[in-house]
Structure 1
Amino acid sequence: MKIFLISIFSILLLSCSTNKKVTVNKLDKIDFVLAFGSCNRTDLPNLLWDDILNTQPDVWVWGGDNIYADTDDMEALRTIYTTQKKNKEYKKLIENVEIIGTWDDHDYGLNDGGVEFEAKVESQQEFLNFMNVPMDSPLRKQEGVYSSKKYDLEKGSINIIVLDTRYFRTSITLDTETDKRVKPNEYGVGTVLGEIQWAWLEKQLNQSNSDFNIIVSSVQFLSNEHGFEAWGNFPHEVDRLEKLISSSKAKGVVILSGDRHISEFSQKQIDGMNYPLIDFTSSGLTHAYKGFTGEPNPYRVGNVVFTESFGTLEFDFSSKKVDFKIIGDHGMVLQKLEQNYE
């Protein structure tokens, strides 16, 4: 399989599993556009919503840290969510585009938090309110915000699988020996998803007949050496997901991630898969790691983007091709990747 990467610059959910018939009319053989992003502060300029709308997305996917609250005070959390929903440009997105997604630690409520966060039940309800999830939705009674949404189009279908990497995630190990924040747990110790969510995810992939299966993870999956939060801190969970993706034979699996205040493409060839697994990280919408000077990522393709940006995936069902784009202010394409899934 050939991959074509063009580096433009070297610097720089929710609903239950349902089917939705989508009618789209895209140019240049684009059948469906998914736009996504993460790391969005309400107290900083929201500069990218007009650019996001200009990509004519069929769905916007929040990748986490949709607001910054870091609180167990639900009134304070609700106030910040309300501020975001009142943003003039974001309101246009709400009015024109379906919105799904997940959370990460700063909108979950506890920095680097997981299963131990005592206000997670209440916080989940505020998140669902922000996402305009109906009060009678089963998600209101479910533990965790994981969900899936299938989009049936004339030429094929896309299944978006939204994970919750916070509600069940057990303790991470602080690194007291180097200048990194955390280090991997001992193999077999801890979980990212918890067994209930794992069973649900296995069913999603094993039973999927979609042409593309997009997995949304708030934290990076492939990049594993930077010393911050990532699936790599639970190496046995990484192995488990890779084996599941391969054994399920689910088509066109892609991982979307956020969290890092940088955007980049990572890819890895997994045993049993005839295409590389791509982890597309898009972060952040309002603030980026502008002091970035480099970090190891054995799976990186191209360059790290460290200015404000969002991501898009443009699907062409006829050729089974996806164009991945990192896009900045004024619609500037900062980097792109093309992958065929035949």
Structure 2
Amino acid sequence: MRLSSLAVIGAFGLVSCATESGQPAFSDLFEGEPQSAVEALNRYYATIDPATLPQAPAGLELPLEQTLTRILLASCNDEEQESPALAQLAEEEADLFLMIGDNVYGDRDGRDYVNSQPELEELRESFSELAERAEFQAVRAKFPMMVAWDDHDYGANDGGKHFAFREYAELIHETFWGLGNVDVGHWPGTYYARTFGTDGKRVQVIVLDTRFFRSDLTPTDEYNAAGKERYIPAPEGSYQDMLGNTQWTWLQNRLQDEADLRLIVSSIQVMPTVHGWESWDKLPAERQRLFDLVESTGADGVVFLTGDRHTGFIYEEPGVLPYGANELTASSLNVSFATESPEMDSRQVAAAFPPENYGVVEIDWDAGKLNLLLKDNQGVIVRENEIAFSDIGVE
């Protein structure tokens, strides 16, 4: 089923003027009248057959019984360009690949895209193009995968919960990645978790959704100024929400699951505070809530894995969690904007790495340590940080 031109106009009018009285669009498709523009759109989206949406090539089953020793991660992949870093990543050996956001760029063609394209045609086309890419087909055939979305595969640059077409974006995401018929496909948002391995060597991977429920960010008061490029932290006492009540409760429960190491995937950065782009520090109360939740649940072995920044980073900081906090930012696969970066957060381990890159988490169970690596598009290690299990609360 496809929205007619008249229906598109009707939906756009509803989104733009949700309080305007009159006969709502799509009301003839359902019993009763929708009470809002978003409800009207969602009623339509509920009629779409997922079989008509783009789908990735068949993937490998997740190795839930296997002891993980090597995990790859990457973000920011423009499906319209060749991706040497992704091709190089396909040459690696690993137990799991985490594709953690901006896996396509499906929101670029229209400046008023957020308000005018309820069919998300560009987003669907972008996923179709990704499925046809040889580099992507290679990694899809070689590695079991878990995925997160970020703004450009969500459908709205820097978008949060007020993106009117988020329900359809979720359907597109979950259909493409084969998640529609598993747990994540049965609740709003794209968050989910899986645990791999057996007693003493269990790795839990928690994939957060930092888009679907997120409240608006505070715009900068000094556009493009260093540290204030686009956003500033929300004022103390203001309304802030990153994950939504249900996802927060779910995360609290997951952090109490049995695990030895926990890799928390967030599409946006968690630890740094020196830049003015999207990150958890723009909602500082929510960032602290995350750290407090790790402590209150007694969750040992947490490491943050992030993307989004078009630059690779490694961070380490004592005292934030009951043990040292660590983060690996792997970004980007083929959307690099620079060769060097002056950005230096006090938590950073070495300089930033803006050229094309991907990340690796190596786990040495016998030696009781893990290594966070950044590799360039030739597979050369350019940044690394070795972490003893004892430094992240793992006995």
TM-score, normalised to structure 1, is: 0.87
**Is the radius of gyration larger for structure 1 or structure 2?**
2
After superposition, residues 121-160 of structure 1 pair within 5 angstroms as: 121-133=167-179, 135-153=180-198, 156-160=201-205
Instruction: Report the alpha carbon displacement of residue 323 of structure 1 after superposing the two structures with TM.
Output: 1.0
Measure, in 2, the Cα distance between the counterparts of 1:260 and 1:271. 22
Measure, in 1, the Cα distance between the counterparts of 2:147 and 2:185. 15
SS across alignment from 2:221: coil
Aligned residue for 2:326? 278
Measure, in 1, the Cα distance between the counterparts of 2:354 and 2:86. 18
Aligned residue for 1:98? 144
Within the candidate set 258, 270, 276, 2:307 is matched to: 258
After superposition, residues 190-201 of structure 1 pair within 5 angstroms as: 190-201=240-251
Q: Deviations over 1:209-232 (max 9, x none)?
A: 211000000101111221110000
Please, which moves more after superposition, 233-242 or 163-172? 233-242
SS across alignment from 1:238: helix
Within the candidate set 246, 253, 263, 1:203 is matched to: 253
When residues 150 and 293 of structure 1 are mapped into structure 2, their CA distance, relative to the original with a 3 A threshold, is closer
Opposite residue 187 of structure 1, the aligned amino acid is: E
Please, which moves more after superposition, 40-49 or 172-181? 172-181
Within the candidate set 198, 204, 212, 2:261 is matched to: 212
Q: Does 1:83 align with 2:147?
A: no
Higher strand share: 1
Instruction: Report the alpha carbon displacement of residue 22 of structure 1 after superposing the two structures with TM.
Output: 1.6
Q: Give aligned-pair identity as a percent.
A: 28
Residue ranges of structure 1 left out of the alignment (5+ in a row): 1-17, 24-30
Instruction: Report the alpha carbon displacement of residue 141 of structure 1 after superposing the two structures with TM.
Output: 2.7
Within the candidate set 274, 277, 280, 1:225 is matched to: 274
Instruction: Report the alpha carbon displacement of residue 281 of structure 1 after superposing the two structures with TM.
Output: 0.6
When residues 272 and 116 of structure 1 are mapped into structure 2, their CA distance, relative to the original with a 3 A threshold, is closer
Instruction: Report the alpha carbon displacement of residue 77 of structure 1 after superposing the two structures with TM.
Output: 1.5
Within the candidate set 290, 304, 308, 2:338 is matched to: 290
Instruction: Report the alpha carbon displacement of residue 61 of structure 1 after superposing the two structures with TM.
Output: 0.7
In 2, are the aligned partners of 1:311 and 1:326 still within 8 Å (CA)? yes
Measure, in 2, the Cα distance between the counterparts of 1:166 and 1:241. 16
In 1, are the aligned partners of 2:343 and 2:352 still within 8 Å (CA)? no
Measure, in 2, the Cα distance between the counterparts of 1:301 and 1:21. 33
Aligned residue for 1:56? 93
Aligned residue for 2:217? 172
SS across alignment from 2:184: helix
Aligned residue for 1:40? 77
Aligned residue for 2:357? 309
Task: Provide runs of 4+ in structure 1 moved above 3 Å.
Answer: none
Aligned residue for 2:64? 20
Cα-Cα RMSD = 1.8
Aligned residue for 2:12? none
In 1, are the aligned partners of 2:86 and 2:333 still within 8 Å (CA)? no
Measure, in 2, the Cα distance between the counterparts of 1:265 and 1:221. 11
Aligned residue for 1:334? 382
Measure, in 2, the Cα distance between the counterparts of 1:341 and 1:335. 20
Residue ranges of structure 2 left out of the alignment (5+ in a row): 1-61, 108-112, 391-395
